[in-house]
Amino acid sequence: MKVVVCIKQTPSTTAVLTVDTGGNVKWDDPGGKPNVLNPWDEYAVEEGIRLKENHGATDVIVLTAGSEESQEALKTSLAMGCTAAILVSDAAFSGSDTTGTARILAAAINKVGGVDIAVFGKQAIDGDTGLTPMQVARKLGWTPLTYVSAIKEVGGGKITVERLLDDGKETVTANLPVVISVVKEINEPRYPSLMGIRKASRAEIPTWGAGDLAVAGGAGAAASKVDWSNIYAIPPRVGSVEMITADTVEEQARILADKLFEEKVI
Amino acid sequence: MDFQLTEEQREFRHVVHEFVAKELKPLARHTDESGEFNWTAVKKMGPLGLLGLEVPEEYGGAAVDAISAAIAIEELGWGCGSTALAISAHNGLALGPIVKYGTEAQKQEWLPPLATGKGKLGCLSLTEPGAGSDLQGGVRTTAVKEGDSWIIDGQKMWMTNASISDLMVVLVRTDPGGGSRSLSHILVPTNTPGITVAPAEKKMGLKGSPTHAVTFDEVRVPLSNLLGTEGRGLQQTLATLDSGRVGIGALAVGLGQAAYEAAIKYAHERETFGQPIKRHQAVQWMLADAATELQAARLMVYWAAWLKGLGKPYTKEAAMAKLFATEVSERVCRNAIQVHGGYGYSAEFEVERLYRDTRLMTIGEGTSEIQRLVIARHILDL
């Protein structure tokens, strides 16, 4: 059984982002690394590794589409225990929207070949769309199983999972291959081991470009339906403070209550 | 010269830092106040590699280089002094001599469970009621051969980790004639009949790292439990302490770094005379000194670790690094309390614990005075 874990490198959760007047976004994290493996994807990587440890998967290949810098997140995944990594990177793919990214990932999964399960985190902390797993499933023509909180059984060409939905849990069985997206309830991601880091730092990660993949339908900025033409920093909230003065506390309270009624707060 | 950590070392630091920030630092106050050893975090250290830092991979260890090992202890110290001391002692004092002097059978038996966290920890047993740094003449615990066994009798003091260990590396007198070749190391499983571990000592700091007096009353272990060469226990101990001193130096840097960061944060937040206290020169100077001295201490620790990794002599450098780093740490923690003013004296603030914790660093594994003695012997050909 072959598993592909699709990940994304994102700004760290503690990174400080700034947007200049030209709409250019920069970020840094003085206390740590500015870019990390998308925190939601840590659960996907962990579940991929558990498919190997508990369900007999032979390969757990971590895959990302992004810049050269994304190698770092791939190495983190290798250090956790993935068996191989692939970076899809090409200037022609830059500026892709989620549909374009899904086309790229689907093409890469097809190129890997023989994949039974593609695992995703439920969303990325930067774009926060949560669309990519579904779109990749659609492009591949595979069954999407989203918000998976437990993998119950894998075998006989089928997979049984538990899905965590707003109104409860449901257990579903689907024929392989499938695309699953996982929620944080599924596991506790392991830390990359020191032994794993050493192996990962020496790993050669192949890079696939536009010439290596048959991306159907187009990708990159030209094919993007999403418009990023106006990027700006969120203006700070403007407020004012009014101190209520009166002779007695009771009077102050009455004035306060009146004002709150006026403003329809109470 | 290259003062850059390698990519691998930077990644080690990042991963250990993240682990410590999540699993140790938030519980450090509870660990100190309750005296409960943080087993939850320590059990997670096994798969990470922190319990077998310099143990070869074939025995389940992480086999990291000496600088990475120092970085790991530094980061642990930044998060929780108690847990860091236990892990530093486990790695440097217990596993270190087994890796260096153990037979293949001893390594096969003890390293995999200890390095992977499947068992408990390990500890080194040197100090006695009448023997601290004067081990050669002071050790009274004896091991006598009887048939196929060693029979051990005596009493040890200040044994870090004794109650949370599966194995003790015990320094014993095997030649009653005395002299520099009269001591040996023997591996003693902690569940051997005849061992009595006294309740944990009540200490000023590091309360989550249990320290015990231990009595050996006709403790019988196989002759094959001799570690290294019979009669070379003193030399093996001194070599082990060289490595341990790098660890204590690193731990002290970590404690000092935590105090420095707390003081920097407080200097931004606290206002007096209408401005943040970071605007006051008295505070600026304390923090500037802390930044400078911590950096120097860190470089000295890495320097000693680097020499160790190259297999070069580093006794003097380890003593220098330990002496300087621990005294810097004490000063930085002291001044961090000063920056906090009255609040710094309150147990509500982290710096109070850090000051108590770092106080041991200038004492354990050789006091500052012993370090100066070691350095003096080297530079004066004494």
CATH of the domain at A130: 3.40.50.620
What domains does chain B contain, in order, with CATH numbers?
A: 7-121 (1.10.540.10), 124-230 (2.40.110.10), 234-379 (1.20.140.10)
Q: What is the per-residue pLDDT for B1?
A: 81
Q: B55 CA to chain A: closest CA distance, Å?
A: 11
The answer to whether residue B25 neighbours chain A at the CB level (below 8 Å) is: no
Residue A149 domain-assigned (yes or no): yes
Q: Which of B319, B317, B286, B315 is nearest to B303 (CA)?
A: B317
The sign of the dihedral angle between the CA atoms of B261, B263, B267, B269 is positive
Q: Find the residue in B nearest to A199 (Cα).
A: B8
B223-264 pLDDT per residue, tens: 999 999 999 999 999 999 999 999 999 999 999 999 999 999
- Please name every residue paired with B221 in a beta bridge, in sequence order, or none if there are none: B150
Please give the pLDDT value at position B233. 96
Asked, for residue A129, whether it belongs to a domain, the answer is yes
Residue B78 contacts A, CB cutoff 8 Å: no
CA separation for the pair A79, A200 (Å, rounded): 5
- Please count the structural domains in chain A: 1
Q: Which residue of B has its CA nearest to A188?
A: B44
pLDDT of A234 higher than 90? no
pLDDT higher than 80, residue B55: yes
Q: Is A236 a member of any domain?
A: no
Q: Give A174's contacts (C-beta < 8 A, 6+ positions apart).
A: A143, A145, A158, A159, A161
- pLDDT at residue A32 is higher than 90: no
* A261 close to B (CB below 8 A): no
Facing A32 at nearest CB: one of B14, B63, B64 = B14
Residue A63 lies in a domain: yes
Is A201 in contact with B12 (Cβ distance < 8 A)?
no
Question: Which residue is closest to B61 within chain A, CA to CA?
Answer: A195
pLDDT-based confidence at residue B35 (cuts at 50, 70, 90): very high
Q: Note whether residue A249 is domain-resident.
A: no
Q: Which two tokens stand for residue A78?
A: 């290798």
B341 touches chain A (CB under 8 A): no
3-class DSSP assignment, residue A59:
strand
Q: What integer is the mean pLDDT of A201-230?
A: 90
Q: Look at B68 and A194 and tell me if their CB atoms are within 8 Å.
A: yes
Region B215-224 average pLDDT: 98
pLDDT at residue B250, as a whole number: 98
Q: Which of B7, B14, B62 sits opposite A195 (nearest CB)?
A: B62
A 14-73 near B (Cβ less than 8 A): 32-33
Facing residue for A197 by CB, picked from B12, B17, B19? B12
Rounded to an integer, what distance in angstroms lies between the CA atom of residue A55 and that of residue B161? Answer: 39
Is B268 at the interface with chain A, CB within 8 A? Answer: no
What is the three-class DSSP state of B246?
A: helix
pLDDT at site B167: 98
What local confidence, expressed as pLDDT, does residue B173 receive? 97
- Asked if the Cβ–Cβ distance from B50 to A194 is below 8 Å, we say yes
- Tell me the average pLDDT of chain B: 96
ipTM entry:
0.81
> Residue A266, exposed/middle/buried by CB under 10 A (0-12, 13-18, 19+)?
exposed
Query: Does B8 contact A198 at a Cβ distance shorter than 8 Å?
Result: yes
Which residue on chain A is closest to B23 by alpha carbon?
Answer: A191
The alpha-carbon gap from B268 to the nearest alpha carbon of chain A, in Å, equals 16
Contacts of B312 (CB under 8 A, 6+ apart): none
Catalytic residue among B109, B230, B330, B365: B365
Model confidence at B301: pLDDT above 80: yes
Say if CB B97 and CB B185 are below 8 A apart.
yes
Tally the C-alpha atoms within 13 A of residue A24's C-alpha that lie toward its C-beta. 3
With an 8 Å Cβ cutoff, are A191 and B44 in contact?
yes
First vs last Cα of chain A: how many Å apart?
A: 60
**Can you give the pLDDT at residue A152?**
97
Task: Give the residue numbers spanning the domain of A85.
Answer: 2-223
Chain A contact for B43 (CB, 8 A cutoff): no
**In Å, how far is A195's CA from the nearest CA of chain B?**
5
> Do A192 and B15 count as a contact with CB atoms less than 8 A apart?
yes
What pLDDT, on the 0 to 100 scale, is given for residue B196? 97
Chain A CB contacts of B268 below 8 Å: none
Burial of A149 by CB count in 10 Å (0-12 exposed, 13-18 middle, 19+ buried)?
Answer: middle
Is the minimum CB–CB distance between B19 and chain A shorter than 8 Å?
A: yes
CB–CB of B53 and A197 under 8 A? no
CB contact under 8 A, A197 and B44: no
Q: Rounded to an integer, what distance in angstroms lies between the CA atom of residue B66 and that of residue B241?
A: 14
Percent of chain A beyond pLDDT 70?
Answer: 100
Q: B86, B264 in Cβ contact below 8 A?
A: no
Please give the pLDDT value at position B134. Answer: 87
The predicted-structure confidence for A147-192, as pLDDT tens digits, reads as follows 999 999 999 999 999 999 999 999 999 999 999 999 999 999 999 9
Per-residue pLDDT at B353: 98
Is the CB of A189 inside 8 Å of chain B's CB atoms? no
* A175 occurs within a structural domain: yes
Measured between beta carbons, the chain B residues lying within 8 angstroms of A195 are 49, 57, 62-63
Q: How far apart are CA A236 and CA B15, in angstroms?
A: 35
Q: Is A256 a member of any domain?
A: no
Q: How confident is the model at residue B2 (pLDDT cuts 50, 70, 90)?
A: confident
Interface residue of B48, B51, B75, B91 to substitute, partner A, most A CBs within 10 Å: B48
A228 touches chain B (CB under 8 A): no
Kindly indicate the confidence band of residue A248, based on its pLDDT and cuts at 50, 70 and 90. very high
Mode of pairing for the β-strands spanning A207-208 and A84-88: parallel
Q: What are the two backbone dihedrals, phi and then psi, of residue A26, each rounded to the nearest 5 degrees?
A: -130, 155
Residue A155 lies in a domain: yes
Q: Which residues of A240-255 are buried (b: 16+ CB within 10 A; e: fewer)?
A: eeeeeeeeeeeeeeee
Question: Is B261 in the active site?
Answer: no
Query: A194, B64: Cβ pair inside 8 Å?
Result: yes
Question: What residues contact B176, with CB distance under 8 A and at least 6 apart?
Answer: B142, B182
Mean pLDDT of chain A: 94
Q: What angle do CA B185, B60, B127 make, to 5 degrees?
A: 25
Q: How far apart are CA B98 and CA B105, in angstroms?
A: 11
Q: What is the mean pLDDT of residues B52-67?
A: 96
CB-based contact, B30 to chain A, within 8 Å? no
Percent of chain A with pLDDT over 90: 79
Q: Residue A194 is nearest to which of B7, B44, B49, comparing CB atoms? A: B49
Which segment of A29-33, B69-73, B174-178, B368-372 scores lowest on mean pLDDT? A29-33
Selecting from A193, A198, A201 the residue whose C-beta is nearest the C-beta of B48 gives A193
What is residue A218's predicted lDDT score, i.e. its pLDDT? 85
